[in-house]
Amino acid sequence: MRFATILLTCLCLARVAHAHEFWIAPRDYTVATGDAIIADLRVGQDFRGAAQSYFPGKFARFEVRMGDRTAPVEGRIGDIPALDMPAPQEGLAIVIHETANHDLTYRERELFERFVAHKDLGDVLERHAQRGLPELAFREAYTRYAKSLVAVGDGAGTDLAVGLHHEIVAGLNPFTDDLSGGMPVQVLYDGAPRAEAQVEVFARGPSGEITQSFYRTDETGLAVIPMAPSTEYMVDAVVMEDTGNDDPDAGPVWHSAWANLTFSTP
């Protein structure tokens, strides 16, 4: 029964994962020193979505970094929540998750066009036509690169680049720093600032109301997001890459790389 549930979850996620955000959802963004960091991996929209089980075959990287220490997230196959481990020390914990590569086949042209427009993927449609690719029945590979910030004890520390292919880095500590001027976030692509990138932000306030807003990075890859108290934030950015393959029968012709960062404010 346990295996059947895991298999069904994986199949369902394979069908819906691309069309929705993937994020790390801590059960609590602030934990006492010595307590466990507990978080779900979720796929969905507007902070609502299915929790994924711990499944090593579905991820390439899953770890918690605190200061100079990085600890792999360990668990049993099928565990929900996927993360439940004692905090290694006091300070700011950076939870890191990189999925394995997945792919999908486009059967409806409108879905592809809506995705390109919503995520502001630039001239992808024009490049698609120039490469002589078909309008339908082509594959896109996709990978998710997610991070989350959790305060352990005093929560002191800073977010930093952790070497993800596509990554969002918080410029301030949301638990300890003054956020009156907003939260600067930097989008990195292979470690370099990604200029003119769309940044999509979901915010869930204390009443449960969810708002969505869009920003654009400057030439240094930075965007500044206004902050409100007692609010959970999810920051998302997507880039579309040419796989170098123009033969739809040979494999995916596009690869989308999704960067995501979650945190909350006091």
What is the model's pLDDT at position 127?
98
Q: What is the DSSP string of 220-236?
A: TSEEEE---TT-EEEEE
Residue 114 is classified by DSSP as: H
Whether the predicted pLDDT of 13 surpasses 60: no
Let me know how many helices (H) and strands (E) the chain has, helices first.
3, 18
Residues 261, 168 contacting (CB under 8 angstroms): yes
Q: Cβ distance 213 to 235 under 8 Å?
A: no
CA dihedral 49, 72, 97, 182 (to 10 degrees): 100
Name the pLDDT band for 178 (thresholds 50, 70, 90): very high
Whether residue 45 contacts residue 20, with contact meaning beta carbons closer than 8 Å, is answered with yes
Higher pLDDT, 11 or 185: 185
Q: Are 226 and 182 in contact (CB under 8 A)?
A: yes
* Mean pLDDT (the chain, rounded): 93
Confidence bin at 88 (pLDDT 50/70/90): confident
Q: Are 166 and 239 in contact (CB under 8 A)?
A: yes
Question: d(Cα 193, Cα 205) in Å, to the nearest integer?
Answer: 30
Beta-strand relationship, 139-152 and 254-264? parallel
* pLDDT band per the 50, 70, 90 thresholds, residue 91: very high
pLDDT of res. 19: 52
pLDDT > 90 in the chain, percent:
91
Confidence of residue 14 (pLDDT cuts 50, 70, 90): very low
Fill in the DSSP letter of residue 138: -
Determine the pLDDT at residue 18: 52
42-63: average pLDDT: 95
Q: Is the pLDDT of residue 33 over 50?
A: yes
Residue range 52-74: average pLDDT? 96
Residue of 150, 141, 148, 156 whose CA lies nearest to 67: 156
First to last CA, the chain: 41
Model confidence over 203-257: pLDDT tens digits? 999 999 999 999 999 999 999 999 999 999 999 999 999 999 999 999 999 999 9
* Integer Rg of the chain from CA: 18
Q: Where do runs of H (alpha helix) occur along 89-139?
A: 109-118, 124-130
- As a whole-number percent, the residues of the chain with pLDDT over 70 amount to 93
Question: Residue 119: what pLDDT?
Answer: 96
Residue 105: give the domain boundaries. Answer: 2-264
Residues 61-80, mean pLDDT to the nearest whole number: 96
Tell me whether residue 93 is exposed, middle or buried, using C-beta atoms within 10 angstroms of its C-beta: 0 to 12, 13 to 18, 19 or more: buried
pLDDT for the residue numbered 98: 98
The pLDDT assigned to 224 comes to 98
Mean pLDDT, residues 167-173: 98
**Chain center to CA of 203:** 15
Predicted confidence at residue 20, as pLDDT, reads 83
Q: What is the pLDDT of residue 56?
A: 96
Least confident range of 8-22, 25-39, 126-140, 216-230: 8-22
**Number of structural domains found in the chain:** 1
